[in-house]
Chain A
Amino acid sequence: MPPIITATDLVKQYPGVRAVDGINLEIPQGICFGLLGANGAGKTTTIEMLEGIHQPTSGAVLYKGEPLGARYREEVGIQFQHTALQDFLTVRETLKFFERLYTETLPIEEVIELCSLTDILDRDTRKLSGGQRQRLLLALALINDPDLIFLDEPTTGLDPQARRNFWDLVKLVKSRNKTIVLTTHYMEEAYALCDEIAIMDKGRIVSQGTPQQLLTEHFGDVVLQIPGDDAGGKLMQMDIGAVPAGELFEIKTNRLHHTLQQLMDNGINLDRLRIRAWTLEDLFINVTGKDKAV
Chain B
Amino acid sequence: MKKFLAVLHARNMEFLRDRSALVWNLAMPFMLVFGLAFTFSGGNKDIYKIGVVGGIEQLTQAAPKLPTTQHLQFILYDDLDAAINKVKHHQMDMLIDVSAAPKYWVNTSSPNGYLLERIIWGVGADKFERQAVEGAEIRYVDWFLPGILGMNMMFACLFGVGFVIVRYRKNGFLKRLKATPLGAFQFLFAQLISRLLLVVVITTIVYVGCDFFIDFNMQGSYGTLLLVTTLGAMSLISIGLLVAAHTASEELAGGMLNIVTWPMMLLSGAWFSLEGAQPWVQNIAELFPLTHMISATRSIMNEGATLAQVMPDVWVLSLTSAVFLAIGAFVFKWE
Q: Do A and B come from one complex?
A: yes
Report which A residues bind B (CB closer than 8 A): 51, 53, 70, 73-74, 76, 78, 80, 82-89, 93, 96-98, 100-103, 140
A82 & B172 in contact (Cβ 8 Å cutoff): yes
The one of A51, A73, A82, A88 that contacts B18, using a Cβ cutoff of 8 Å? A88
Establish whether residues A80 and B172, one from each chain, have CB atoms under 8 Å apart when the complex forms: yes
Over the window 91-110 of chain B, the binary record of Cβ atoms lying under 8 Å from chain A Cβ atoms (1 yes, 0 no) is: 00000000000000000000
* Extra inter-chain contacts (20) besides given A87-B14, A89-B10, CB under 8 Å: A70-B181, A73-B181, A78-B176, A80-B175, A83-B172, A84-B168, A84-B171, A86-B10, A86-B11, A86-B173, A88-B18, A89-B13, A89-B14, A93-B10, A93-B13, A97-B6, A97-B9, A100-B3, A101-B177, A102-B181
Residue of B nearest to A51 (CB): B179
Residues of A within 8 A of B168 (CB): 84
Interface centre among B3, B178, B181 (most CB of A within 10 A): B181
B179–A80 contact, CB under 8 A? Answer: yes
Q: What total count of A-B pairs have CB within 8 Å? A: 65
CB distance B17 to A84 under 8 Å? Answer: no
Interface residues of B in 272-294 (CB under 8 A from A): none
Distance between Cα atoms of A101 and B179 in the complex (Å): 10
Q: B residues within 8 A CB of A74?
A: 181
Segment 306-335 of B: residues with Cβ below 8 Å from A: 335
| CB pair B6 A83 closer than 8 Å | no
In the complex, 7 of the A-B residue pairs with CB atoms within 8 angstroms, ordered by the A residue number, are: A80-B175, A83-B176, A84-B173, A86-B13, A88-B13, A96-B6, A101-B6
Shortest distance in angstroms between B109's beta carbon and chain A's nearest beta carbon? 54
Given A83-B172, A88-B13, A53–B6 Cβ distance below 8 Å?
no
Closest chain A CB from B208 CB (angstroms): 27
Q: Which residues of A contact B177 (CB under 8 A)?
A: 101
A148 CB → nearest B CB, Å: 12
Which 9 A-B pairs give the minimum distances between C-beta atoms?
A100-B6, A84-B171, A88-B17, A78-B179, A73-B181, A101-B180, A84-B173, A88-B14, A83-B172
* Pairwise interchain contact A101-B13, C-beta atoms closer than 8 A: no
Cα–Cα distance between A89 and B9 once the two chains are bound (Å): 11
CB nearest to A74 among chain B residues:
B181
- For A84, the closest partner residue in chain B by CB is B171
What CA separation (Å) do A87 and B173 show in the bound complex?
Answer: 10
Q: Would you give the 0/1 interface string for B1-29, flagging 1 where the beta carbon is closer than 8 Å to chain A?
A: 01101110111011001100000000000
A101:B182 contact, CB within 8 angstroms: yes
- Interface residue count for B (Cβ, 8 Å)? 25
- CA gap between A80 and B175 in the complex, in Å: 9
B173 in complex: contacting residue of A78, A85, A102, CB < 8 Å: A85
| Chain A neighbourhood of B11, CB < 8 A | 86
| CB of A94 to closest CB in B, whole Å | 8
Give the residue name and chain of the A residue nearest to B335 (CB).
A53
Chain A residues near B182 (CB-CB < 8 A): 101
| B interface residues (Cβ-Cβ under 8 A, vs A) | 2-3, 5-7, 9-11, 13-14, 17-18, 168, 171-173, 175-182, 335
* A222, B180: Cα distance in complex, Å: 48
- Nearest Cβ on chain A to B120's Cβ, whole angstroms: 63
A87 and B18 CA atoms in complex are apart in Å by 9
Q: Please give the distance in Å from A271's CB to the nearest CB on chain B.
A: 56
Cβ-defined contact, A102 with B176, below 8 A: no
Determine how close the nearest CB of chain B comes to the CB of A50; give it in whole angstroms: 12
- Please indicate the chain B residues that have their CB under 8 angstroms from the CB of A93 in the complex: 10, 13
Instruction: Report Cα–Cα, A89/B335, bound state, in Å.
Output: 22
With a cutoff of 8 Å between Cβ atoms, the chain B residues found around residue A88 in the complex are: 13-14, 17-18
**B13 cross-chain contacts in A, Cβ below 8 A:** 86, 88-89, 93
Contacts of A84 in B (CB 8 A): 168, 171-173, 176
Q: Are A100 and B17 in contact (CB under 8 A)?
A: no
Contact between A73 and B14 (Cβ–Cβ < 8 Å)?
no
A53 to B3, CA, bound (A): 20
Q: Are B181 and A103 in contact (CB under 8 A)?
A: yes
Interfacial chain B residues near A53, Cβ < 8 Å: 175, 178-179, 335
- CA A292 – CA B43 in complex, angstroms? 75
Q: Are A101 and B181 in contact (CB under 8 A)?
A: yes
Residues of B within 8 A of A97 (CB): 6-7, 9-10
State in angstroms the CA–CA spacing of A141 and B260 once bound together. Answer: 39
How far is it, in angstroms, between the C-alpha of A97 and the C-alpha of B7 when the chains are bound? 7
Are A80 and B18 in contact (CB-based, < 8 A)?
A: no
The answer to whether A73 touches B10 (Cβ under 8 A) is no
CB neighbours of B176 from chain A (8 A): 78, 80, 83-85, 140
Q: How far is the CA of A188 from the CA of B291 in the complex (A)?
A: 64
Closest to B178 in A: A53
Q: How far is the CA of A268 from the CA of B258 in the complex (A)?
A: 81
B178 lies within 8 A of A83 (CB)? no
Give A77's nearest chain B residue, CB to CB.
Answer: B179
A85 to B171, CA, bound (A): 9
User: Are A98 and B180 in contact, with the CB atoms below 8 A?
Assistant: yes
What's the least CB distance linking B195 to chain A, in Å? 15
**Smallest CB–CB gap between B191 and chain A, Å?**
12
Identity of the chain B residue whose Cβ is nearest the Cβ of A97 in the assembled complex: B10
